[in-house]
């Protein structure tokens, strides 16, 4: 019996030592992938004026070249199974007086493959120093993959033309879109449509789609809004969104690798804004497969609210998880928020919470207790955050990170070695 207990103790020590060893390399997860193609000060950029306006219906294969600057005004629909292909380095200006939306309808395709040296840019038609969050609408892509609703699909948000608004099906391997090295600046308009439009909306995304190296900055609503489908996305940036940075819903299942969300404590939605919102199912439309609610894995994330001790009281939890959604976060940094995760009342016990949310090998710096719950009768919720390092007291953003507010390329390397911080066990 003594030998058995000794063996168990040795295994436990080995596992914990392995965690510490991994954690020692944690801060080496830098942000080199953000260099050269991003723009953290788009209001200073002098983009050329638009030369050619896109038609409101694109029903044949169309190619946009980088020697022309294009204008989108109002709703532009890509229909009839057509492909809209955009050359690297192309600039698309987006109308703010008649707020622009680019809608890729089910069966059609957007292929926007920029490069690190020549990204594709969708930006406000306003001149420098006058652009604002929500100047125009956003990019909406409807696919044919599985969606966990009663009908197996839905209608895209925003009151668009009904014949162009459907999404969902059973074509899970679809190449719904290809987005590489794309910047989307000042989207999220809420004036033309009461519900508002998000920066990049992806509906029923197929597994053959490619979404990588995309930056959404100064969105007036969510930066990324994903409904259903399945995909592995990587190298995404959300910068100073008003609403959520990443929202996943309606049974989306997939991974996010190397993503960033940078928030400001004074930029928030009245309903609450989160770096990540996981919505297990659509409360209005219901679901048909109880074992396929939204499930997302987040790796190498940097979720930072640029708060300090004078304004941190305006922050919310970093992650909201509701309606039986599930999420796993690992090897990530979360700083400047009130808590790590907020659960709604569909999580009725600690055991259910532990199955729904797990975080490990990560670092956090918060000013709350860590876990916010609607069902206050549940005790022991801090156990959810085991095996992560954290600051004993809240630390202001400029004291914690090396260069977090750099206007060219912000950096979020910890000033102190990770081993100087507490560890939950």
271-323 pLDDT, tens digit per residue, is: 889 999 999 988 777 777 777 899 999 999 999 999 999 999 999 999 999 99
Of 13 and 127, the one with more pLDDT: 127
Identify the pLDDT of residue 28.
52
User: Residue 113: left if φ>0, alpha if ψ -120 to 50, beta else—which one?
Assistant: beta
Instruction: Place 126 in a pLDDT band, splitting at 50, 70 and 90.
Output: very high
Q: pLDDT at residue 334 above 90? A: yes
Which helix (H) or strand (E) covers residue 23, if one does?
A: helix 2-24
pLDDT band for position 26 (cuts 50, 70, 90) = low
Is residue 1 very low, low, confident or very high in pLDDT (cuts 50, 70, 90)?
Answer: very low
Q: How confident is the model at residue 5 (pLDDT cuts 50, 70, 90)?
A: very low
**Is the predicted pLDDT of residue 122 greater than 60, yes or no?**
yes
% of the chain beyond a pLDDT of 90: 80
Phi, psi for 113 (deg, rounded to 5): -105, 90
pLDDT of residue 15: 43
Average pLDDT over residues 353-360: 96
The DSSP secondary structure of 33-66, one letter per residue, reads GGTTT--S-GGG--PPPP-EEPPSEE-S-EEE-T
pLDDT in tens, 91-119: 999 999 999 999 999 999 999 999 999 99
Using pLDDT thresholds of 50, 70 and 90, give the confidence band for residue 13.
very low
Domain ranges of the chain: 44-423
Share of the chain above pLDDT 70, in %: 92
Is 14's pLDDT higher than 50? no
CATH class, 44-423 region: mainly beta
45, 326, 365, 370 from 353: Cα distances, Å? 45, 9, 21, 14
In this prediction, residues 126-139 reach a mean pLDDT of 97
CB 402 within 8 A of CB 375: no
- Beta strands in 120-165, from DSSP E residues, in sequence order: 120-124, 138-142, 154-155
Q: 292 to each of 40, 104, 253, 287, 296, how far by Cα in Å?
A: 37, 26, 8, 9, 11
Segment 319-340 shows an average pLDDT of 97
Between 195 and 387, where is the model more confident? 387
* Alpha carbons 235 and 185: distance in angstroms, whole number: 17
How much is the pLDDT for 8? 36
Query: How confident is the model at residue 24, as a pLDDT?
Result: 43
| pLDDT for 283 | 76
Q: Judge whether residue 9 has pLDDT over 70.
A: no
The string of pLDDT tens digits covering residues 406-422 is 988 899 999 998 888 98
Return the residue matching tokens 């309808």.
Answer: 105
Copy the structure tokens of residue 59.
């029903």
What integer best gives the mean pLDDT of the chain?
Answer: 91
pLDDT grade, residue 397 (50/70/90)?
Answer: very high
């Amino acid at each position: 019996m003594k030998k058995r207990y000794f063996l168990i103790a040795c295994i436990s020590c080995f596992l914990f030592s392995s965690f510490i060893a991994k954690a020692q390399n944690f801060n080496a997860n830098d942000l080199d992938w953000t260099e050269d193609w991003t723009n953290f000060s788009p209001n200073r950029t002098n983009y050329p004026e638009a030369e050619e306006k896109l038609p409101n219906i694109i029903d044949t294969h169309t190619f946009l070249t980088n020697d022309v600057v294009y204008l989108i005004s109002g709703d532009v629909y890509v229909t009839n199974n057509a492909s809209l292909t955009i050359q690297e380095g192309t600039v698309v200006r987006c109308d703010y007086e008649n707020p622009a939306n680019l809608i890729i309808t089910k069966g059609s395709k957007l292929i926007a493959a920029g490069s690190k040296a020549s990204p594709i840019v969708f930006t406000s038609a306003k001149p420098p120093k006058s652009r604002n969050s929500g100047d125009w609408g956003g990019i909406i892509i409807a696919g044919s993959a599985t969606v966990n609703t009663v009908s197996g699909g839905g209608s895209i948000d925003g009151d668009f033309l009904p014949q162009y608004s459907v999404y969902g099906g059973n074509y899970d391997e679809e190449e719904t879109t290809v987005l590489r090295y794309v910047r989307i600046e000042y989207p999220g308009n809420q004036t033309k449509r009461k519900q508002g439009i998000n920066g990049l909306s992806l509906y029923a995304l197929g597994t053959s789609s490619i979404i990588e190296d995309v930056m959404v900055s100064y969105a007036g609503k969510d930066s990324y809004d994903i409904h259903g489908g399945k995909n592995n996305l990587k190298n995404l940036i959300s910068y100073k969104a008003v609403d959520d940075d990443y929202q996943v819903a309606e049974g989306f299942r997939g991974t996010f690798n190397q993503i960033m969300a940078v928030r400001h404590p004074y930029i928030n939605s009245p309903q609450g804004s989160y770096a990540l919102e996981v919505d297990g199912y659509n409360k209005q439309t219901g679901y048909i497969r109880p074992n396929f609610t939204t499930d997302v894995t987040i790796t190498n994330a940097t979720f930072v609210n640029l708060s300090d001790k004078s304004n941190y009281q305006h922050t919310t939890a970093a992650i909201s998880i509701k309606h039986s959604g599930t999420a796993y976060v690992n090897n990530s940094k979360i700083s400047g928020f009130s808590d790590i995760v907020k659960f709604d009342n569909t999580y009725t016990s600690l055991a259910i919470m532990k199955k729904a949310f797990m975080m490990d090998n990560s670092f956090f710096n918060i000013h709350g207790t860590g876990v916010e719950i609607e069902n206050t009768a549940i005790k022991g919720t801090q156990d959810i955050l085991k095996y992560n390092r954290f600051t004993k007291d809240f630390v202001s953003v400029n004291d914690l990170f090396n260069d977090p507010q750099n206007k060219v390329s912000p950096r979020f390397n910890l000033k102190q070695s990770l081993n100087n911080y507490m560890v939950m066990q």
